[in-house]
């Protein structure tokens, strides 16, 4: 359970950095508390998408992973971020990613920051 909480906090922190750095990734709310709650919900959605959909996409695109020496990971991460944005729209959560190239850059930022936070944060159960 502690590992799940740590990964969710890392995802939320990484998403917050991407929102802060990129103007086309938006998260709105009436107050700071509402924004934090929305960020946590988006982090849970992003974690769910990465847990359920990403392995299937990686398996289906395995030849492209080999052919591009893993660079297709940037595209897969962008698609997962765009899927999270779409799900947030369906669930009426105020998070939006505008455009594919913003999603590519956002996915790269989220990957790097999430990796760094997972290194720093404890992960034992």
Q: How confident is the model at residue 124 (pLDDT cuts 50, 70, 90)?
A: low
Q: Where are the domains of the chain?
A: 1-124
The DSSP result for 102-125, as a single string, is HHHHHHHHHHHHHHHHHHHS----
pLDDT the model gives residue 4: 81
What is the spatial distance between Cα 33 and Cα 40, in angstroms, rounded to a whole number? 11
Residue 98 has pLDDT above 60, yes or no: yes
Mean pLDDT of the chain: 88
Q: Which of 5, 7, 1 is nearest to 110 (CA)?
A: 7
The DSSP result for 30-67, as a single string, is SSHHHHHHHHHHHHHHHHHHHHHHHHHHHHHTHHHHHH
As given in the structure block, the two tokens for residue 103 are 């999603």
3-state secondary structure 4-33: HHHHHHHHHHHHHHHHHHCCCEEECCCCHH
pLDDT the model gives residue 123: 66
Q: How confident is the model at residue 97 (pLDDT cuts 50, 70, 90)?
A: very high
Q: What is the pLDDT of residues 27-77, one digit of tens each?
A: 887 888 888 899 999 999 998 988 898 889 888 988 988 998 888 888 999
């Amino acid at each position: 359970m502690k590992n799940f909480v740590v990964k969710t906090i890392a995802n939320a922190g990484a998403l917050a950095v991407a929102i802060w750095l990129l103007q086309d990734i938006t998260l709105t709310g009436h107050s700071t508390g509402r924004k934090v709650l929305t960020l946590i919900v988006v982090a849970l959605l992003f974690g769910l998408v990465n847990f359920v959909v990403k392995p299937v996409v990686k398996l289906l695109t395995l030849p492209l992973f080999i052919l591009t020496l893993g660079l297709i990971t940037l595209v897969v991460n962008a698609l997962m971020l765009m899927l999270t944005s779409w799900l947030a729209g369906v669930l009426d959560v105020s998070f939006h990613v505008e455009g594919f190239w913003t999603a590519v850059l956002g996915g790269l930022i989220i990957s790097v920051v999430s990796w760094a936070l997972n290194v720093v944060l404890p992960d034992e159960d």
